[in-house]
Amino acid sequence: MHTISRLIALALGMLACVAAQAGGPPLRIYCVYQAAHGFRAVSADYQKRAGVSLDLPLHCRDHFSPSAESLKGGDLYLTTSPAAMAKAKEGGLLDSEPQRIGRVVPIIAVMKGNPHKITSLADLARPGLVVAYPSTCIGNVALAIIHKNGLDDTVKPHMTIRTGNRTGVLAPLVEGKAHAAITWSCAIIESGRKDLGVIPIPPEKNIIDPLLIAVLKSSPDKARARAFLDYLGTEPTKKLLAAYCLADE
């Protein structure tokens, strides 16, 4: 019996050592959808470097209201909505000032080689062109960009396919049902497709949202959460975010 007790104690000790080496429970980051693909890569890198994994419950930029309930048990809050982050701050939910770690940039996606010679938003008004845009929040951003540039009467009538999310909207383009699609640049990387091209939208004509993150007061280990913020500011992490089109230039 004494031997069994010693074996149990030894096993428990070994489990404790493994847990310590693994950095404890995952950091819970409430993550906006369009940053998810890049942050899965960040999670893998942070696990390798610090022994800490990330739990990434996802939310939609336009349909998530930060509250004590919606952010319950979280360590950090990551969003592209300055208004939502401001609401979280006003509600006393933050334990750090919001930190900008990057941005999301809308672009015009075309097939590789740009067969229809699209070079600008105005070109989307060309007779016969069909433009696809997502049914999710980037779709609303796309409409706002068209309105910002005074193209409601010329380009908007060509935006006849509203479907899918940031990556799903690329399907009509690939299938030949659309000649261009408006989505985020990070969605092209996320899609994994090599047969797509990107037409940039000049910054002054675009609507570029910042990628903001802050530590939550609900975090059970704020020291670990702040350590992760420090990691995000390192050059290797900035390069990793740049590879997923999420870093500031």
Considering the domain architecture, whether residues 128 and 172 belong to the same structural domain is answered as: yes
Range of the domain at 117: 106-205
Q: Please give the pLDDT value at position 15.
A: 31
Task: Return the percentage of the chain with pLDDT > 70, whole number.
Answer: 91
Q: Is residue 15 part of a domain?
A: no
How many folded domains does the chain comprise? 2
Q: Is residue 163 part of a domain?
A: yes
Q: What is the pTM of this model?
A: 0.86
Considering the domain architecture, whether residues 213 and 94 belong to the same structural domain is answered as: yes
Give the rounded distance of the alpha carbon of 93 from its chain centre: 21
Considering the domain architecture, whether residues 183 and 238 belong to the same structural domain is answered as: no
Considering the domain architecture, whether residues 126 and 47 belong to the same structural domain is answered as: no
Q: Is residue 50 part of a domain?
A: yes
Q: Is residue 182 part of a domain?
A: yes
Q: Is residue 13 part of a domain?
A: no
Reading the block at residue 234, the tokens are 């390192």
CATH of the domain at 198: 3.40.190.10
- CA-to-CA distance for 153 and 220, rounded, in angstroms? 52
Query: Mind listing the pLDDT tens digit for each residue in 111-158?
Result: 999 999 999 999 999 999 999 999 988 999 999 999 999 999 999 999
